[in-house]
């Protein structure tokens, strides 16, 4: 496999990791009867299962991409989490958030072509 495929695997892992963060946040918004039910419910167990899958994808991806590229690609998680916050929680984009996202994307682009 070429490095593009491995980079795509890493980005997909970051993507599903951001989905699991949203699942955990949705689960945290629900009141439970006991502390055990807060941690042992289908949402939490499913989200942590997705985290495990994302970790395994990261391990696979690092077999074919340079170690220095990994954190750059993992920064795409900020974009995914922002998108999910807008869609699922109705969060607003402030000017500071937009500037931060532009800087993140700019860094990814500069590194990609540099």
Name the burial class of residue 84, with classes exposed (0-12), middle (13-18) and buried (19+) by CB atoms within 10 angstroms of its CB. Answer: middle
Measured CA angle at 86 (ends 84, 89), to 5 deg: 85
Tell me what the mean pLDDT of segment 4-21 comes to: 96
Q: Name the pTM for this structure.
A: 0.86
Distance in angstroms (rounded) separating the CA atoms of residues 80 and 110: 20
Q: Mean pLDDT lowest for which of 11-15, 50-54, 73-77? A: 73-77
Tokens, residue 27: 């689960």
Distance in angstroms (rounded) separating the CA atoms of residues 60 and 65: 10
Does residue 114 carry a pLDDT above 80?
A: no
Tokens, residue 108: 């990814």
Range of the domain at 15: 3-113
In the chain, how many domains are there?
1
């Amino acid at each position: 496999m070429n490095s593009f495929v491995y980079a795509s695997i890493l980005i997909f892992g970051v993507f599903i990791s951001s989905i699991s963060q949203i699942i955990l946040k949705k689960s945290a918004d629900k009141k439970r009867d006991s502390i055990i039910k807060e941690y042992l419910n289908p949402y939490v167990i499913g989200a942590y299962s997705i985290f495990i899958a994302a970790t395994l994808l990261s391990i696979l991806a690092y077999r074919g991409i340079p170690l220095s590229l990994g954190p750059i690609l993992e920064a795409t998680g900020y974009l995914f989490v922002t998108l999910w916050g807008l869609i699922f929680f109705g969060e607003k984009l402030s000017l500071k958030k937009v500037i931060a996202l532009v800087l993140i994307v700019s860094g990814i682009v500069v590194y990609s072509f540099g």
